[in-house]
Amino acid sequence: MINKNHSKILLVEGVEDLRVIPELIEANGVPWVSAKQPVVFIDPCNGYDNLVNPDLIATWLQASGLLALGIIIDADENPEERWQSIRNASLNNIPDLPESLPEEGLIHITAQGIRFGIWMMPNNKMCGMLETFIAYMIPTTAEELWQFSQTVTREAQAKGAAFKAVHEDKAKIYTWLAWQNPPGRQLHQAIKQKILAPQHPDAEKFVTWFKTLYELENSSG
User: Quick one: pLDDT at residue 168?
Assistant: 95
User: Quick one: pLDDT at residue 217?
Assistant: 86
CA dihedral 58, 60, 64, 68 (to 10 degrees): -110
- Domain shared by 32 and 113, yes or no: yes
Residue 66 located in a structural domain: yes
Q: Which amino acid is at 56?
A: L
Q: What is the pLDDT along the chain (221 residues), one digit of tens a residue?
A: 455 568 999 999 999 999 999 999 999 999 999 888 999 999 999 999 999 999 999 999 999 999 999 999 999 999 999 999 999 999 999 999 999 999 999 999 999 999 999 999 999 999 999 999 999 999 999 999 999 999 999 999 999 999 999 999 999 999 999 999 999 999 999 999 999 999 999 899 999 999 999 999 886 54
- Domain shared by 12 and 120, yes or no: yes
User: Quick one: pLDDT at residue 4?
Assistant: 55
142 contacts: CB under 8 Å, gap ≥ 6: 176
Q: Could you give the CA distance from residue 10 to residue 7 in angstroms, rounded to a whole number?
A: 10
- Dihedral sign for Cα 92, 94, 98, 104, please: negative
**Total structural domains within the chain:** 2
Residue 182 located in a structural domain: yes
User: Quick one: pLDDT at residue 35?
Assistant: 80
Residue ranges making up the domain that contains 52: 8-128+199-214
User: Quick one: pLDDT at residue 221?
Assistant: 43
Q: Taking the complete model, does pTM exceed 0.75, yes or no?
A: yes
Residue 27 located in a structural domain: yes
Helices marked H in the chain: 15-27, 48-51, 54-61, 79-91, 130-134, 143-158, 168-178, 187-192, 201-214
